Structure 1
Amino acid sequence: MPGDTTPFDPADYLDTPEAAAAYLEGAFADGDPAEIADALGVVARARGMSALAKETGMARQSLYKALGEDGNPSFANVLKITRALGLKLSLQPA
């Protein structure tokens, strides 16, 4: 039917570690903590929240809360999540 659209969900396109890393790099480049948490949430959804909960040892609800719109994950949780996603954080001079 003309005019029908499907909502865009970036999680549908994050099917490789490289794609997830590139997506997260964009969020980290902007430096907005809310955007970073949201991007981690999108990558987590792409990976599967249940699998990620198991790998991190965190409850699914805790993941949803930490990575939701008003989430504010601790740095320790960010590290757990990125490791479970098969990613690592690195720093570069500005």
Structure 2
Amino acid sequence: MPSPAPISDYVYEPSLKACAVARQLNMALAGRDPNLFLQALSEAARDKGIAKLAMEAGVGRESLYKTLADGAKPRYDTVLNLLHHLGVKVVIEAR
């Protein structure tokens, strides 16, 4: 399946961008594949700008690249920090 266009290609309003990021990450989570979620998170990070996100999240740029690399196993607190700086949050709902 081809990757969707980067969020930055079609969303310019920050609040709408956060909604698009949330939609993309939720679709990835629905697949129940951690690597798919990591790929979606990586795409959202690149759309925002790796250097900008790293600075806002208080992590090194190279460290962020390693965190988002294929097959990486990022820590839960790191993922929550990145999500926060992408303008989204984790919500648990009953099925």
Using structure 2 for the length normalisation, give the TM-score. 0.82
Which runs of 4 or more aligned residues in structure 1 lie more than 6 Å from their structure 2 counterparts after TM superposition?
A: none
Count of residues in Structure 1 that have an aligned counterpart in Structure 2: 88
Structure 1: state its 5+ residue gaps.
1-6
Aligned amino acid, residue 5 of structure 2: P
**If you compute each CA radius of gyration, which structure gives the higher value, 1 or 2?**
1
Per-residue CA distance 1:15-62 (angstroms, 9 max, x = gap): 311111110110111121111111100000001111100111111111
Q: Show the counterpart of 1:82.
A: 83
Q: Show the counterpart of 1:43.
A: 44
* Structure-to-structure mapping, 1:5-84, within 5 angstroms: 10-11=5-6, 12-13=8-9, 15=11, 16-84=17-85
Aligned amino acid, residue 85 of structure 1: L
Change (3 A) 1:89 1:53: same
Pairwise CA distance, 1:13: 3.8
With 65-74 and 43-52 compared, the bigger mean Cα shift is at: 65-74
Kindly report the root-mean-square deviation, in angstroms, between the aligned alpha carbons of the 2 structures. Answer: 1.9
Structure 2: state its 5+ residue gaps.
12-16
